[in-house]
């Protein structure tokens, strides 16, 4: 206990000496601080939210929160005024942040990030509200996100997102996901984010409760000038039951699957206009060089887009679609 108190005091002095009120993070190889979260008491804190709360407002120091293995049952929020955070666990198998809530979709996420320049690695985010449903209980499925972000310049590496409906609330800003695992049944990647999913595994559990079909995405692009959209590049889509690649959450919804393996769970039609039947011309749903039994496009909806070579090149290049200013390279490794 004494050692933890001394460590906390040292960290406080470190922050106070380095903080300036700017949203720009310090160079990745310079000013940095590390906070250890450990349930056993061998770190500065035993809860992840405690570590977030400790970071000063308008922080501009890249701050590592190192989370030791364990199941952390807590609801965590990173407020908008606390940028420049790297959250790192041991692995997504043994470092879990878990909660159970479905009170309101934009307020019930297990982990919420509202601050820009956030990076997560080797963490599992899980909302267990619908857990009984996954096991066959006939309780109605409700919206229960595992993760929510409304911030720009947010990235994830080797993370897992587990839920049933609205698992990943990818709401706003530019985001990058690499080698992540995302599981759900209904609209389990949804929102108005501008996001690139690289080499991720998408597990659609549409067969729960004997459901006929599920939906992977519900993307919310709302105008021709809106730059948002979801791009899945070199990913893998597996699961149980039958699933649509996406349905239109907004009239200009945009989703692209490129060089992705699609298992036989994908319905032949591929896509659903949802509430925009008859106005599909504004929806941009496209596939390019996908493989697997679910990649057969012979029965796809007639309004699926065939993108030009230039459009496809822009969307499927991480540097042109989400990393225009090189923010990914500026985040710590």
pLDDT of residue 4: 41
Catalytic residue among 187, 226, 272, 296: 187
Kindly report the pTM of this predicted structure.
0.91
Query: Is 261 part of any domain?
Result: yes
pLDDT of residue 24: 74
Query: Is 206 part of any domain?
Result: yes
pLDDT digits (tens, 9 = 90+) for 229-267: 999 999 999 999 999 999 999 999 999 999 999 999 999
Which stretches in the chain have pLDDT values below 50?
A: 1-22
Query: Is 134 part of any domain?
Result: yes
SS (H, E, C) the chain: CHHHHHHHHHHHHHHHHHCCCCCCCCCCCCCEEEEEECCCCCCCECCHHHHHHHCCCCCCCEEEEEECCEEEECCEEECCCCCCEEEECCCCCCEEEEECCCCCCCCCCCEEECCCCEEEECCEEEECCCHHHHCCCCCCCCCCCCEEECCCCEEEECCEEECCECCEEECCCEEEEECCEEEECEEEEEECCEEEEECCEEEEECCHHHCCEEEEEEECCCCCCCCCEEEEECCEEEEECEEEEEECCCCCCEEEEECCEECCCECCCCEECHHHCCCHHHCEEEEECCECHHHCCCCCCCCCCCCCHHHHHHHCCHHHHCCCCCHHHHCCC
Residue 166 designated active-site? yes
pLDDT of residue 3: 38
Query: Is 15 part of any domain?
Result: no
Query: Is 33 part of any domain?
Result: no
Query: Is 271 part of any domain?
Result: yes
pLDDT of residue 26: 73
Query: Is 6 part of any domain?
Result: no
pLDDT of residue 208: 82
Domain span at residue 120?
A: 64-322
Q: For residue 273, give the CATH number of its domain.
A: 2.160.20.10
Catalytic residue among 31, 94, 137, 166: 166
pLDDT of residue 244: 98
Structurally, the chain folds into a number of domains equal to: 1
Query: Is 50 part of any domain?
Result: no
């Amino acid at each position: 206990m004494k050692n933890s108190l001394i460590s906390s005091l040292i960290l406080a002095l470190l922050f106070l000496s380095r903080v300036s009120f700017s949203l720009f993070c310090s160079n990745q190889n310079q000013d940095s601080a590390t906070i250890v979260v450990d349930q056993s008491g061998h770190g500065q804190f035993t809860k992840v939210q405690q570590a977030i709360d400790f970071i000063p407002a308008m922080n501009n120091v890249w701050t590592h929160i190192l989370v030791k293995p364990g199941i952390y049952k807590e609801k965590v929020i990173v407020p908008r005024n606390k940028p420049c955070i790297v959250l790192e666990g041991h692995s997504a198998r043994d470092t879990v942040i878990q909660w159970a809530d479905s009170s309101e979709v934009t307020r019930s996420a297990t982990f919420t990030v509202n601050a820009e320049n956030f990076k997560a690695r080797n963490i599992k985010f899980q909302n267990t509200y619908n857990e009984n449903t996954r096991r066959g209980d006939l309780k109605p499925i409700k919206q229960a996100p595992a993760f929510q972000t409304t911030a720009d310049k947010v990235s994830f590496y080797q993370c897992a997102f587990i839920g049933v409906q609205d698992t990943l609330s990818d709401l706003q800003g530019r985001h990058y996901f690499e080698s992540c695992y995302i599981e759900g049944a209904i609209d389990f990647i949804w929102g108005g984010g501008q996001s690139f999913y690289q080499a991720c595994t998408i597990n659609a559990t549409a067969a729960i409760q004997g459901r006929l079909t599920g939906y992977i995405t519900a993307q919310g692009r709302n105008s021709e000038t809106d730059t948002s959209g979801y791009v899945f590049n070199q990913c893998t889509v597996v699961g149980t039951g039958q699933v649509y690649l996406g349905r239109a959450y907004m009239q200009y919804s945009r989703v692209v699957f490129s060089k992705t393996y699609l298992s036989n769970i994908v319905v032949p039609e591929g896509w659903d206009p949802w509430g925009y039947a008859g106005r599909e011309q504004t929806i941009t749903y496209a596939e390019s060089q996908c493989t697997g039994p679910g990649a057969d496009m012979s029965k796809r909806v007639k309004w699926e887009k065939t993108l030009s070579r230039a459009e496809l090149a822009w969307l499927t290049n991480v540097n042109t679609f989400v990393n225009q200013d090189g923010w990914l390279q500026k985040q710590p490794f």
